[in-house]
Amino acid sequence: MTKANITPLARVKEQLMKAGEKPFNGRYRVPALWTPFGAEALDGNPPIEVQPAKFYLSHIEAIEAVRDPGIDPVKSINVQMRGGNAGSWVVKETIYNVFVRLTTAYDHDADGVLGGGKVDPTLNAEGIRETGTFLKTIALLGHIKRLGGTVIHLLPVTAIGKDGNKGVLGSPYAIRNPYKLEPSLADPLLDLSPDEQFMALVEACHCLKMRVVVEFVFRTASKDSDWIIEHPEWFYWIDEKVVDRKVGEADPEIARRAYGNPVFTPVELEIINSKVGRNDYSDLPAPPQNYRSFFKLPPLKKSIRLNETGQVRGEGLDPETGKLVSVRIPGAFADWPPDDNQPPWGDVTYLRMYHDENPQKARFNYIAYNTIRMYDTALARNDLANRHLWNRIRDLAPYYQDHFGIDGVMVDMGHAVPVVLMQEIISAARSKDPDFCFLSENFSIEQSSVDAGYNAVVGYAWWVEFKREGVLGLLDHVGVRGVPLPFFGAVENHNTPRAAGRPGGEKYATYAFLVNTFLPKSVPFIHGGFELGETMPVNTGLDFSNADLLKLRGKPLPLFDPGSLPWDGEHPMVGVTMKILKLRSYFRQTVEVTDPSCFVLLDTGNSDVFAFLRKGAKSVLMILFNRNLELELGCTIDLNIHISHEVHCLKNLLEKKGFVPELPLNEGVLSCSVRPGDAIFFAWEKPLPETFKEA
């Protein structure tokens, strides 16, 4: 291979080989779990002190050793592997979610501080980047493969803005330029650009036949986005004199004079919810006039400037007075429901997806639910589409396909992207790769996502399964009635409470992950840190009570500040996660049967004890769990029509600490007690039909 066509991973390897020949005088520790692909997991062992170049080289060599010579890892592996079928491959995979900056962060010099550099807070005193990098993510692939992960889902890796950052590092969702990668994700151990290091990560994944899905944000940008200076008409603008509303402001008069999410009356909220519930988006109630008056017309490009703190300013026309006023970019907020309690998103702003019919007397020149998500029918017209913006968004996935060889995209709040634009995005990507996968951050599992072209949605399992009524509804909806497309078997994500941080801790995390993994059309989803029993949330975006928000207020959150996962010590959830995913793989033929008739919700005789069957051509699987986290509860389950009378006991295949090895059957009836929060997994051969036996 010549220098001209050497692959990105080979360039990384070449540099590491040279660096490995030189002495390394600093201290560089890594977690014991970060062992190369094919090596034994060393959970519970103390951190290992290594020569960093040699350490990362060992991982690349282990990856290269198993590379399939018939696959070109620089390109997407979708069309190079069987069963792509327009992105539907995702239903047979297991996703491991990586927030690069957090997931592979580590205190390498053991000084008790993550990074801490005065100029660059991601670097330690020796110039080592202690927040996560693409190179360190390559070293995590062995761990992910051992767990059972087959797809890497990356939170946004794009360049981060600075205006309004909530923390030291800023959110990956505050995107300054979606066509540029975040420089701090490159590892200074390599003399390679962020693009080259990301290419190497994708190539390494493909060598292991792991696909790479990148998350994109199509509706928002940072408040100092490169696009603002280029195209001010793509954004909303407000009078610079209008101050932002303080978090938790309760005085209605003060709230009225400050910028924040528009405040609707109870009557207006009732009308809004009723109309949206009926999918009637005509003449949706607008925000109060005083709120709408904050907004001015976009400034001319020549008036755009940066103030002394790097914030974008311009001169925009006030449509009411006809005078020019100094304007700024407003922050964003949760768009639905209109009275959502999430803290404001002061580091991002919404993109203007549609132009007003009469820009000089604009009817929709404001940010609200009916202009950024539940688009009013008078606004959401093809002739009013912000076409130049749409084209730039449409071409984003093809750019990453051409430059990095990615295999799919997760669309942040995909159901809130205009339908026509989303169709164009999918069409453009699949014209290059017919098996390119599209995932949507949609918490509903509905036919509309199928119609839009998505292969799977996030779904809502994480939101309901820790509640008795919620888990029952989930089993009935997904199992008994059935859903139209795959969904994530996620018990947590970067916006929710951690599963191990909910009541019951790892007991709850175990039974919830087991249930999710074996639901019909479920795509197992591991949020990085779940397997470590992490309890600290990454962000407080979803399903946090006001009390939760108050408790966490003022504490640094990893979505915005330096943070790391608890890689050191013992992690019982690692073994549990591996075992559950191995069971799914072993019984794949049964798991892949998704006909609702093959799912049976069993009567246990106890409202806190749940059990269900998955029936395949050759085997029957049974999941039994006690959602009561304090009491041991009894149950009685009649399995006569599902199991042979020759079976006198059921073996529990979910081996974990303190597990029950087997339970007796009495004439086809299982009577037992289940410990608080315990989960049990049984499997047996499917009994032959009586008519077949007689024959």
Structure tokens at 164: 């309004």
Say whether pLDDT at 236 is over 90: yes
**CA–CA distance, 356 with 362 (Å, rounded to integer):** 6
pLDDT at position 541 is: 85
644 falls in which pLDDT band (50, 70, 90)?
Answer: confident
pLDDT at position 693 is: 36
pLDDT at position 687 is: 65
Q: Tens digit of pLDDT for each residue in 321-365?
A: 999 999 999 999 988 889 887 778 889 999 999 999 998 889 999
- Number of CB atoms found within 10 A of residue 196's CB: 17
Q: Which amino acid is at 85?
A: N
Chain centre distance of CA 362: 36
End-to-end CA distance of the chain: 65
Adjacent-strand bridge partners of 488: 523
3-state secondary structure 131-174: CCCHHHHHHHHHHHHHHCCCEEEECCCEEECCCCCCCCCCCCCC
pLDDT at position 68 is: 94
User: What's the number of CA atoms in the CB half-sphere (13 Å) around residue 241?
Assistant: 8
Q: What percent of the chain has pLDDT over 90?
A: 83
Asked if residue 523 lies in contact with residue 489, where contact means CB atoms within 8 angstroms, the answer is yes
**CA–CA distance, 539 with 216 (Å, rounded to integer):** 18
Strands 175-181 and 312-317: unpaired
Structure tokens at 61: 């060599």
CA distances from 560 to 152, 168, 539, 606 (A): 22, 6, 8, 44
Determine the angle formed by the axes of helices 387-394 and 396-404, rounding to 10 degrees: 30
Interval 146-155 mean pLDDT: 98
605 falls in which pLDDT band (50, 70, 90)?
Answer: very high
Q: Which amino acid is at 672?
A: C
691 falls in which pLDDT band (50, 70, 90)?
Answer: very low
DSSP one-letter code for 382? G
Structure tokens at 268: 């207006």
**CA–CA distance, 350 with 373 (Å, rounded to integer):** 10
Q: Give yes or no for a cis peptide into 337 (omega within 30° of 0).
A: yes
Which residue has tokens 């282990």?
Answer: 62
Interval 421-433 mean pLDDT: 96
**CA–CA distance, 167 with 600 (Å, rounded to integer):** 48
**CA–CA distance, 121 with 650 (Å, rounded to integer):** 55
pTM of the model: 0.94
Number of residues assigned to the chain:
695
pLDDT at position 139 is: 98
Asked if residue 298 lies in contact with residue 232, where contact means CB atoms within 8 angstroms, the answer is yes
Q: Which amino acid is at 511?
A: Y
Say whether pLDDT at 688 is over 50: no
pLDDT at position 103 is: 98
Write out the H or E segment, with its range, that includes residue 20: helix 8-20
pLDDT at position 85 is: 85
Interval 666-686 mean pLDDT: 93
Q: Tens digit of pLDDT for each residue in 152-198?
A: 999 999 999 999 888 999 999 999 999 999 999 999 999 999 999 99
Question: Which of 167-176, 434-443, 658-667 comes out lowest in average pLDDT?
Answer: 658-667
Chain centre distance of CA 506: 21
H helices, E strands: number in the chain: 21, 27
Say whether pLDDT at 690 is over 70: no
Interval 452-459 mean pLDDT: 95
Asked if residue 243 lies in contact with residue 258, where contact means CB atoms within 8 angstroms, the answer is yes
pLDDT at position 623 is: 97
Burial of 105 (0-12, 13-18, 19+ CB in 10 A): buried
**CA–CA distance, 39 with 62 (Å, rounded to integer):** 9
- Number of CB atoms found within 10 A of residue 355's CB: 19
Write out the H or E segment, with its range, that includes residue 12: helix 8-20
pLDDT at position 256 is: 82
Say whether pLDDT at 251 is over 80: no
Say whether pLDDT at 150 is over 70: yes
Asked if residue 242 lies in contact with residue 259, where contact means CB atoms within 8 angstroms, the answer is yes
Structure tokens at 458: 């996030």
Asked if residue 596 lies in contact with residue 577, where contact means CB atoms within 8 angstroms, the answer is no
pLDDT at position 3 is: 57
590-694 falls under which CATH superfamily?
Golgi alpha-mannosidase II (2.60.40.1180)
Question: Which of 134-148, 621-635, 647-661 comes out lowest in average pLDDT?
Answer: 647-661
Q: Tens digit of pLDDT for each residue in 382-414?
A: 999 999 999 999 999 999 999 999 999 999 988
Asked if residue 357 lies in contact with residue 554, where contact means CB atoms within 8 angstroms, the answer is no
Structure tokens at 60: 């690349």
**CA–CA distance, 181 with 403 (Å, rounded to integer):** 12
pLDDT at position 378 is: 96
Domain ranges of the chain: 66-218+390-585, 226-350+352-385, 590-694
**CA–CA distance, 459 with 444 (Å, rounded to integer):** 5
**CA–CA distance, 149 with 126 (Å, rounded to integer):** 34
Q: Please, what's the b/e burial string for 590-625 (b: 16 or more CB within 10 A of its CB; e: otherwise)? A: bbeebeeebbbebebebebbbbbbbbbeeebbbbbb
**CA–CA distance, 349 with 217 (Å, rounded to integer):** 12
**CA–CA distance, 63 with 380 (Å, rounded to integer):** 49
**CA–CA distance, 577 with 303 (Å, rounded to integer):** 56
Say whether pLDDT at 545 is over 90: no
Interval 14-23 mean pLDDT: 94
pLDDT at position 659 is: 80
Q: In whole numbers, what is the pLDDT of the chain averaged over residues?
A: 93
Q: Give yes or no for a cis peptide into 52 (omega within 30° of 0).
A: no
4 falls in which pLDDT band (50, 70, 90)?
Answer: low
pLDDT at position 247 is: 76
Q: Tens digit of pLDDT for each residue in 76-127?
A: 999 998 777 899 999 999 999 999 999 999 999 999 999 999 999 999 999 9
Burial of 292 (0-12, 13-18, 19+ CB in 10 A): middle
Asked if residue 213 lies in contact with residue 410, where contact means CB atoms within 8 angstroms, the answer is yes
Task: Please give the CATH architecture assigned to the domain spanning 66-218+390-585.
Answer: Alpha-Beta Barrel (3.20)
37 falls in which pLDDT band (50, 70, 90)?
Answer: very high
Q: In what order do the strands lie in the sheet with 609-615?
A: 599-601, 609-615, 619-626, 679-685
- What three-state secondary structure class fits 193? coil
